Structure formats: structure tokens, C-alpha cells
Structure 1
Amino acid sequence: MKKSIFVLILLFGFTIQSTFATDGYFRHGYGIKYSALAGSGVAVSLSSLGAITNPASIIRTNNSLEINISVFSPNRDYTITGNPSGFPQTFGLTPGKIESDKNIFFFPTIGLKRGIADNMAIALSIYGNGGMNTDYPAKTFYDPSSPNTGVNIEQLFANLTYAIEVTKGHSIGVAGIFGWQRFAAKGLVAFTPFSSDPANLSGNSWSTATGFGFKVGYQGVLTDWLSIGAAYQSKINMSEFERYSGLFAEKGDFDVPANWTAGISISPDKDWTLLFDVKQILYSGVKSVSNPMLPNLQTSQLGKDDGAGFGWKDITAIKFGVMYKAIENYTLMAGYSYNENPIKESEVMFNILAPAVIQNHITAGVTRKISEDSDLTLAFMYALNNSVKGANPFEAPGQQSIEIAMRQWQFEIGYSFCLIK
């Protein structure tokens, strides 16, 4: 078993790639069954990977190992309308539409759960987050040192979870979270006059960071038809990206924001389950993400505590899911989620690099029980096209507009089997 887990961790490390996630830069759901339900399910126990959403959920799952592989395709672009004015002290962009390269990514998710007593269990979850990935084949900001413009961040997390059923039907859980991430940027030399550390602004090799956080959760079965659940994840305090200390606020700091989720599960009969979750992501707690571009770019240098950022605001997501046991050995799943847009019209300039404007997700999936100890799940997600349009803040009023847009789809396959009797 130990050898199998080691091989799986190595596999994960070799295949993780940067993706662009959907709730800002979080994935819309973690674990294939939760993904098929549009990320809802904090109140139900579906698999070992439920520990990512709610640490308390593993009490009511079997001892198992689950492996998910996802194919993710985000399409990102920006459109500049209007010619540069050429006026002094302005910074006009080249008109036209530019689409980001590299639109197919692969990433795995792995979960292992084991009961250690009648009312206690532990779990290990390994998963990736991505986001802020763009690679535009253009000198967007006229950088003479790079033919392309873009950023790339890759994140890997490992959660070690402990849960206990404190009384029949009611469990609590806690997870320690280790985070690893790396970042690279190119095509940003034009911002050198605004940087506190120009040598660590753009065009450097990968810079890595690590950090720790925690997650706590509760799950309660109130009646045979009603369950509730809630979870809170702390901010994951990461070390700084030293090679980009002249770009991100607080000398290259890029923490993972805190978030919370609460929801209910209703089962009107034995075949149907209806889910409703509310989630909030607190981007305002991370200065490199939430600091606005203006007036900060004029009042403080990039890399300083008040340096310009992406101007993201806190967002709330509402998630709906439905499960139906259609026939023996098959469970059908579907979901819809809507989240607020973290990017305001006034922040489109910097967010050419990170056009996280997706708001609507439609999902579906099916689980086939192969044997008493294993099942196979397929899931699909489609995120509807969305865009945000605003004025170029460095041009004459009404001279130029910037529109950033994104649409995406994801296909997943997952296999779960009993590893420990």
C-alpha cells in the first residue's frame, strides 16, 4: 500500500499543470462526484475526496482510494477597441483581439481514507489548484524582451484529515493543509518604472513558495431526509515569490485566501437527493490579489504593501446539485452554480493577465458501481462564456476600451476502490 501511494504522489507531481479555475481561481468542485454536482455537497458524504470540501464527511464513507483525472480547457482572450491617442502621459494598447495559447490541461486528484476506530477516521487528499494562466502571442505591454505576454501559477495541496463522530449522526473534522506553488511572468517590463525591485518583476524563471493552513468542518444527519454541513478554511500563509518581489504586493506574497461553505441535503425519497450550498471566497485578505491597480500604481510601487494588484473583490457562489439512482448500480448527477465576478470594470487592464470572469457552470455525471468495493464515475462541466469590459485607465477618456473574456469545459474520469478492509 505504501508503495502504491508513493507512486501515485509521484504521478501527481509529474502531471500537475497550471489550469484556470472557475470560482475566481478555485476549482468549481473538488473530487469528481462533487464536481458533477457543480461543487455542492458539503452536507453529504460521497467519497474519500469529500475531505477537501468538508473534513467531517469522511466518517460516513468506506475505506477507499480514489483517483480522478481531469481534462480542462479554458479559452481566454482580450479585445482592445479604439486606437491609441498618442497624447503625452498615456499608454495605449494595440487594437485587436488576442487569444491565449495552450488551452488543454491535465491534472489528477487523489484521496485515501481509512477508519481508525468505530467513530474515527483519517484521510489524505492531494489535489491541484490553478489559475491566472495566460500566454498571449503578443507584446501586449510592448515588452522588447519577450514576444509573449502572460503569467502562470501552479498550486499543489496536501490535506491530512482527522474526523470523529461526536454523537450519532454528528461529526466534526479538521485538516492540516500543506501548500506548494510556483509562479512565472513574462512581458511586463513596461512596468519597470513602477516597481520597487525591477530585477524581480518579469521574465525570471519559476519562483516557488510553500505554506500551511487548516480547515474545520461539521456534518450532521438531522433526520432520514435532511442533513446539514459547514466548513471553514483558513488563509494559507505562503512564503514569498522572491523572483517576483517587484511585482506582487508585500515583496512577492501570494497567499491562498480564506473561504467558507455551508449547505443542506434533502432526500424526499430513497432515489432522490437535492443539494444546496453557499460558498464565499475572501480574496480581500490577500493584498497581491485585492489591491486595486489605481490609484495604487501612482501612490506606491509594485512589490510594496500597497502596490497595485488585480483588484479582486470577495465573491459568493451558490451551488445546486441533484442525484438520482436511476437503475440498479447507476447514479445520475447534475448541477448548476453561479458565482459573483471578482473583477470590476475598472480593473480590466491588469486582469488581461488573469481574466477570471466565469460565473455560470453547468455540470453532469454518472457513477457506475462495478462491484461491492469499486465504482467508476464520469463527469462533465461547461462554463458559459462571460466577459467584462472597461476603459483603458491610461488613455484619454473614451479613447480605448478593454474587454476580457473566458469560457471553458472540463471532462473527468474517476475510479474508487476499497484498499483496506
Structure 2
Amino acid sequence: MVFKRSLLAASVAATLIASGAAHATNGYFSHGYGVKSMGMGGGGVALPNDSAMIIATNPAGITETGTQINFDISWFHPVRGYSQTSNSGMFNASAESGSNNFYIPELSASYALNDTSSIGIAIYGNGGMNSDYSGTATSLFGAGNSGAFAAPNSTMTAIYGGGEGGVNLKQMFIAPTYAHKFMDGKLSVGASLLFARQTIQVKGLGAFDNGMYSAAPGYVTGNEVSHSTGWGGKIGVLFHATDAISLAGSYQTKMAMSKFDQYAGLFAEGGKFDIPSTWTIGGAFQVAPAWTLTADFQRINYSSIKSIAGTSTTLGRVKLGSDNGPGFGWSDVNVVKLGAQWQMSPALQLRVGFNHGTNPVGSQDVVFNTLAPGVVKNHYTAGFTYALDQHQELSGAFMYAPDVTVSGPNNAVASYDPSTTTTIHMKQYEATIGYAYKF
């Protein structure tokens, strides 16, 4: 009963906190969930690693985590911005996004019902289609807001010029979970019911807030924070092929979300912003008594979400907010996650990892993605766990994602200077600390 009351209180607190989460690594999905996984490149679909946060990766894994509570908090520091050059110099521009420090909590718990069945819950976040350009930022489109394609010497203010610009997307997931062992414990199967809540706010797109560019003027930019909710599911399997080899896979459904009503004139289908499906397969290999290696492959299906996948090159011919309206032009992302764990002593584990994800943003959609420059590809990670006693452990992880740039033409001003080229960039730092109590 003490465990159940503690879990309820912690769940409520984390729900309130996690609604402010912000992330951006593999597109806008986190590179990993749980401090132990984060130290191994975000991998571990086949390695529960004595952490209830395995729910977020593979719900089958809680059959091996016993009864425990985990709490992690990350400091996430993305550095992103854009620059623009043109032969005439008329459209030269640059800006760095502000709001570079985010604090992201995660909570998970598992409870062993008996030798074969377990229940659990995880609360965690996605997000990071995030940018915050100040009012002093130089305009991408000159100085006019009579339209996105206004003449450069107009006296009116343009997108990102003379006013705030940017977007802030946050997603929170709550995942109650059940898992069961079969085949004398060699095979585990688990399932999570997913509830998602997301919020968004967009600023600085006044140039497009009219009947020429939007199907719903007045619902494009500068409105209050808009909320959306939806449901989905995740299933997972974990199979111990031998004492040294484990294989696993998981699948998360596409989540149909309610519309962002305040931005019905910006996102396709009248404000729809669904969450894409994703699947992961992988293995864990104990190559020596003290060494375990992991290898995962993940697919994130951004192309199935119109508001994310629709190309921005149709802007001006197809209206924002329409059924097939322009979007960010993101393609599907393939992710390879590699990790290694060393049991250095009975109390201390050390970890390293590497995560490579394909870049979802093509050169033709660079200008629109100044709002959300989620272009990083490589992530280098390290981590540790130290057992304080038989019930408590402290873990840490660090991630660095080097700077990636993507350049493309700014077709909005091509009639004035076809040489105009826009470049977006991003790099990231993240440090996570985690605490676990085992009953």
C-alpha cells in the first residue's frame, strides 16, 4: 500500500511537471528514454537493465524489473538558428534562437504481481519543434509583411523582423502497462495503453495570416497556447535466445490527436498534428561476464503525418490549414543505436553509446524549418550507475550531438534575388541524473 500511495502521488506530480517537457534529437523524438538507456545511445529494446523506464522503449521489459520507482531529470541545451545570404545583400539575415535551457523530468514504476506478471507506468515527454527568435532578428523575407513575398524595402514588418518568431511543441505520454512471461521465463510480452497530451504555440507568421495563404485566417500565428489529446498503444516482446543473447521488438501505433483549434489555419487538415507510429528491433549480447553490448534499429514514420510531412514548396499554391496543406516536409527517420555497458565493480556500472539518425529535413524545405530545425544526426553518449545500497541507486548520463547544417534556396524571394540561400543549424547537449528505489 505504501508503494501504491507513493506511486500515485509521484504520478500526479510528474504529470504536472512533464507537461513542460521539450526535446529534439531524432526529429522531435528523444534519442532515448530513461537515464540508463540515454547513456547507451538511447538503445536497449532487448535490455531492461533493471529500470522501469523500459516501458517507454519495450513494455515487455518490466517482467524483469521487479518492484521499483525511477525518477530522472534532464538538462537539455539545444543551440539552433539560421543564416541567409544573397549576392545582392538585400536578404542577408541571421538569428540564433533563444530559450536554450530546458529541464525535462521522467517518472516510471513497476510492480511484480507474481513470478510471471507485472504492471507499471511511465510518464515521459517528446517535443522540441522549438525555436524562439527575438524581435530584433533580421527578417528572412526583407522588411515587409503585406505578404511573405513583399518587396524588401517595404516599411512594414516581416516574418521574424520587428516581432517575436518561433514555435514551441510539447508532448507528454502516460503509459500504464501490463506484461507477462511465457516459456518458463524465456519469452515476455507486454502492452501499454498510451495517453498523449500536446501543446503548441506559434509566433511570427503574420505574413501568412491572410486569405491568400491560409484556409482559416486568424488561426495561423500569435494565438494562445493550443491543446490536443489522443490515445494509442504500444506492444513489445522480449526473448532470451540463450543465456547471453536477448532479442526484442516493439511497435507504437499512430496516435490520432484532437485538433489544435487555435492553429487551424496553419497545420494541415484544419489543425491536425497526429503523432507518428514507430517501431524498434534489437538485441543485447553479453560478450563477457562484465560486458554487455546492445544494437537497436528504430523507424519513425513522420511521412504519415500530413502537417509534418507536407512540403512547404506548395505554399502560395496550396493554402495552409487545408487537407493537404503545406508542412515541414519531414521524411521518415531511421535510427541506429549502439551501446556498451561495463560492470566495473559490484556497485558501479559504466556506459557509452552512439546514436545515428537520418535527417528529416530536405534542402527544399529549409526556410519553413527555421521554425523547427530538427536536423541533428549523430549523438555521442556516456553514463554510469552507482548502487548506494541494496535498495537505492544513482545514475547519470551525458549526450552531445554535433552541429549539423542544411542549406536550400529561399524561393519566396527568388524573383528579387534567385541567389538567396538559407541555412539552418542545430547542436545539442544533454545531462541527466536519475534515482531509483527498489522495494
Q: Give the TM-score range, shorter chain.
A: over 0.9
Q: Counterpart in 2 of 1:118?
A: 115
Deviations 1:323-377 (A, max 9, x none): 0001221000110010100000111010000000000000000100111122110
- Displacement, 1:96? 2.8
Check whether the contact 1:18–1:153 (CA below 8 A) recurs between aligned residues: no
- Displacement, 1:34? 0.5
Question: Distance between the aligned counterparts of 2:83 and 2:262, measured in 1?
Answer: 30
The answer on 1:164 being equivalent to 2:180 is yes
Q: Counterpart in 2 of 1:78?
A: 82
Question: Distance between the aligned counterparts of 1:15 and 1:228, measured in 2?
Answer: 31
Q: Relative to structure 1, is the Cα distance of residues 226 and 288 closer, same or farther in structure 2, using a 3 angstrom cutoff? A: same
Deviations 1:18-62 (A, max 9, x none): 423100000000011011111110011111000110011111112
Question: Distance between the aligned counterparts of 2:41 and 2:27, measured in 1?
Answer: 15
- Displacement, 1:200? 0.6
Q: Counterpart in 2 of 1:38?
A: 41
The answer on 1:287 being equivalent to 2:289 is no
Of residues 305, 312, 319, the one that matches 2:337 is: 319
Question: Distance between the aligned counterparts of 1:101 and 1:17, measured in 2?
Answer: 17
Alignment of 1:21-100 (within 5 A): 21-46=24-49, 47-82=51-86, 94-100=91-97
Question: Distance between the aligned counterparts of 1:202 and 1:146, measured in 2?
Answer: 15
Of residues 9, 12, 25, the one that matches 2:11 is: 9
Q: Counterpart in 1 of 2:432?
A: 412
Question: Distance between the aligned counterparts of 1:15 and 1:139, measured in 2?
Answer: 33
- Displacement, 1:148? 1.0
Alignment of 1:255-270 (within 5 A): 255-270=274-289
SS of 1:278's equivalent in the other structure is strand
TM-score (norm 2): 0.90
Q: Counterpart in 2 of 1:147?
A: 163
TM-score (norm 1): 0.94
Question: Distance between the aligned counterparts of 1:311 and 1:341, measured in 2?
Answer: 11
Check whether the contact 1:58–1:121 (CA below 8 A) recurs between aligned residues: yes
Q: Relative to structure 1, is the Cα distance of residues 360 and 144 closer, same or farther in structure 2, using a 3 angstrom cutoff? A: closer
Aligned pairs, number: 411
- Displacement, 1:188? 0.3
Greater displacement, 234-243 / 12-21: 12-21
Deviations 1:66-106 (A, max 9, x none): 00011000001100111678xxxxxx7x4232100010000
Of residues 222, 228, 233, the one that matches 1:209 is: 228
Check whether the contact 2:61–2:238 (CA below 8 A) recurs between aligned residues: yes
Of residues 366, 369, 390, the one that matches 2:387 is: 369
Question: Distance between the aligned counterparts of 2:138 and 2:92, measured in 1?
Answer: 12
Letter in 2 for 1:82: S
The answer on 1:219 being equivalent to 2:238 is yes
Check whether the contact 1:368–1:377 (CA below 8 A) recurs between aligned residues: yes
Question: Distance between the aligned counterparts of 2:17 and 2:34, measured in 1?
Answer: 19
SS of 2:243's equivalent in the other structure is coil
- Displacement, 1:16? 4.3
Question: Distance between the aligned counterparts of 1:4 and 1:223, measured in 2?
Answer: 37
Check whether the contact 2:21–2:172 (CA below 8 A) recurs between aligned residues: no
Question: Distance between the aligned counterparts of 2:400 and 2:245, measured in 1?
Answer: 29
Letter in 2 for 1:332: L
Question: Distance between the aligned counterparts of 1:198 and 1:267, measured in 2?
Answer: 58
Check whether the contact 1:16–1:108 (CA below 8 A) recurs between aligned residues: no
The answer on 1:132 being equivalent to 2:100 is no
Check whether the contact 2:236–2:251 (CA below 8 A) recurs between aligned residues: yes
Q: Percent identical across equivalent pairs?
A: 37
Question: Distance between the aligned counterparts of 1:139 and 1:209, measured in 2?
Answer: 32
Of residues 326, 347, 369, the one that matches 1:329 is: 347
Q: Counterpart in 2 of 1:88?
A: none
Question: Distance between the aligned counterparts of 1:161 and 1:33, measured in 2?
Answer: 20
Question: Distance between the aligned counterparts of 1:17 and 1:401, measured in 2?
Answer: 34
Deviations 1:268-308 (A, max 9, x none): 121000110000000011000000011x3233211111100
Question: Distance between the aligned counterparts of 1:56 and 1:10, measured in 2?
Answer: 24
SS of 2:384's equivalent in the other structure is strand
- Displacement, 1:395? 2.7
Question: Distance between the aligned counterparts of 1:175 and 1:4, measured in 2?
Answer: 21
- Displacement, 1:153? 0.8
Question: Distance between the aligned counterparts of 2:379 and 2:254, measured in 1?
Answer: 25
Question: Distance between the aligned counterparts of 1:101 and 1:7, measured in 2?
Answer: 34
Q: Counterpart in 2 of 1:185?
A: 202
Q: Counterpart in 1 of 2:154?
A: none
Q: Counterpart in 2 of 1:174?
A: 191
Greater displacement, 76-85 / 398-407: 76-85
SS of 1:200's equivalent in the other structure is coil
Of residues 282, 289, 292, the one that matches 1:273 is: 292
Question: Distance between the aligned counterparts of 2:205 and 2:382, measured in 1?
Answer: 40
Letter in 2 for 1:34: S
Letter in 1 for 2:171: Q
Letter in 1 for 2:118: A
Deviations 1:182-223 (A, max 9, x none): 111010010122001111110000000000000010001111
Structure 1: unaligned runs, 5 residues or longer: 86-91
Question: Distance between the aligned counterparts of 1:208 and 1:62, measured in 2?
Answer: 36
Question: Distance between the aligned counterparts of 1:221 and 1:303, measured in 2?
Answer: 48
Letter in 2 for 1:186: K
Q: Counterpart in 2 of 1:89?
A: none
Check whether the contact 1:36–1:380 (CA below 8 A) recurs between aligned residues: yes
Check whether the contact 2:138–2:161 (CA below 8 A) recurs between aligned residues: no
